[in-house]
Amino acid sequence: MPKQPAFPGLRDAMKKKQTRRELFLSEMDAVVPWGRLLALIAPHYPKAGPKGGRPPMPLETMLRVYFLQNWYALSDPMAEETLYDSEAMRRFAGIELGDDRIPDETTILNFRHLLERHGLTEAIFADVNAHLADKGITLRSGTLVDVSGRTPSVRESPRKIIDAPSSTKNKAGARDPEMSSTKKGNTWYFGMKAHVGVDAESGVTHSLETSTARVHDSRIWDELLHGEETSVWADKGYVNAEREAAFSDDGKVWGVMRKAPKGGKLHPEDEKINRIIAMVRARVEHPFRILKRQFGYVKTRYRGLAKNRAQLFTLFALGNLFLVRRRLLA
């Protein structure tokens, strides 16, 4: 005689082991400042009309589904599919299968477009950092400046480029017109860049700017500093004599990797300085590592700079929370 199937919720309650996904979602549920983020979005979220009709999905459900999309690199259709498949994700989103509506891919897409249209992902990034400041995780004296910190394998593009699809086999029959190409060595790459300012002590990303791959790093500078730095640790691409002189005159530390003269060798003293700078600058890789290894973000998902820029603000906001989650939970 076949076994009588248990109710899904009861079966889940009887589990003896918490999965890694469940642990991750429970931790993030505890550290996301839901109240202030919902208050931020609520004025822009549609309300039920006076004539009735189908009410919109609860705002908190949609925000939770949107975060799930970013944590697990899900497209709009896959986000809908995964909600049907995963009890852990439905529980996180506050959805009970059979009792509550599951948002379809169009509803999920419309919510993402609402955030993009009103610039709300930048506001989420700012609000998360304000929340961290309220919790005592504040900016210190040093800023690490870098761009799209990927650690490439032999087959990957350089760490400065976030790849965009270069194929023309799509509905438009063309590559993304808002992305651009750049040459590294003898190879061309296509995509965009994410420039960040990272707090040297906590590793929290406090500033973010985006550009196409062709834009030189040195053109993105003022946007990455909070203005109170006593030290800046930057990639060589951001360096020029005017900036170095300005920092030196103010008595600030200017940590930039030394470069050997063309055809020559680096002086041993410069090699020693480079090792010290590299140890300090290593922390700037942590936010990018979280996006790539933890959240699965390895290339652009959407066409156009605006949509990808909006997603990056969300990813770095969530990355900041993940980075300091132990301190927040404590």
Question: What H or E segment, with its residue span, contains residue 316?
Answer: helix 305-323
pLDDT single digits (tens) 72-90: 999 999 999 999 999 999 9
For each of the domains in the chain, give its residue range(s) and CATH number, in order of start: 17-117 (no CATH), 140-304 (3.30.420)
And the tokens for 300? Answer: 């652009």
Q: Number of C-alpha atoms within 13 angstroms, CB side, residue 216?
A: 7
Q: What tokens were used for 24?
A: 């991750």
Say whether pLDDT at 316 is over 60.
Answer: yes
Q: Distance between CA 185 and CA 169 in Å, rounded?
A: 27
Q: What is the pTM of this model?
A: 0.84
At 205-219, the pLDDT tens digits run 999 998 888 887 778
Task: Give the model confidence (pLDDT) of 218-237 as tens digits.
Answer: 787 778 888 777 777 776 66
What does the alpha-carbon distance between residue 131 and residue 164 come to, in Å, rounded to a whole number? 33
Q: Which residue is associated with the tokens 């990639």?
A: 235
Chain-centre distance for alpha carbon 91: 24
Tell me if 304 sits within 8 A of 168, measured CB to CB: no
Select from 27, 304, 72 the least CA-distant residue to 175.
304
The answer on pLDDT for 248 being more than 70 is no
pLDDT value for 150: 41
